[in-house]
Amino acid sequence: MEIWISLEAENGEMCPNALTSTLFSEYLDEYERHVGNLKDVIRPLVERLGLNIEPLLRQAGWEFSRLEFPSDKIFAEYQKAREVAWQPPQQLIDCLTQIIKVIDAHPEIFIEIGLSSYSIEENYFIRGAFRRDLLDLLQMTEWAKGIDAQRIRLISGEG
């Protein structure tokens, strides 16, 4: 199943592009939730390079109706998490730009933290696909800034 990330402006307008890199989402999940399916690559990057990726982690799920949740409490928690995901576009632009610049300044970093080009998943970082996904997200965020969105949120889903 494919995991995607889109971007929603506060006025309800959705970015015409979406990031469909399943590995991007899975590595962020590994960093945030320690699910154990993949090597935690993001944490060594954050710690070693002093990155602030908090704006990138502020993601909301797709909008669902109350009927799709087993209780009012769980629905309220889900809605609260969606509300917390809002942020100014510039905050995400700054975050993405910082990560891209640091990766560009330290192209050997992925090998230094022990990644192998023999692993398909780890090759995602070594061959530049992770960086391309960051650039795609940056382009999506600049779209939001271009339509004068004051707040945006990343929306993740499966399909």
**Average pLDDT of adjacent 10-residue blocks, the chain of 159 residues:** 84 92 83 74 90 89 71 82 90 96 92 80 86 96 96 84
Amino acid at 49: L
In a 3-state reduction of DSSP, which class is residue 8? strand
Residue-level pLDDT at 37 = 66
Domain total in the chain: 1
Predicted local distance difference test score (pLDDT) of residue 23: 83
For residue 94, what are its two tokens?
Answer: 């700054």
Q: How far is Cα 43 from Cα 52, in angstroms, rounded to an integer?
A: 11
- pTM, two decimals, is 0.86
Domain that holds residue 82: 3-156
Confidence at residue 78, expressed as pLDDT on a 0 to 100 scale: 75
Q: Judge contact between 44 and 113, C-beta under 8 A.
A: yes
Cβ atoms of 155 and 60 closer than 8 Å = yes
Helix (H, G, I), strand (E, B) or coil at 79: helix
Burial class (CB in 10 A: 0-12, 13-18, 19+), 155: buried
Mapping DSSP to helix (H, G, I), strand (E, B) and coil, where does residue 125 land?
helix
| In the block, residue with structure tokens 């995400």 | 92
| Amino acid of residue 71 | S
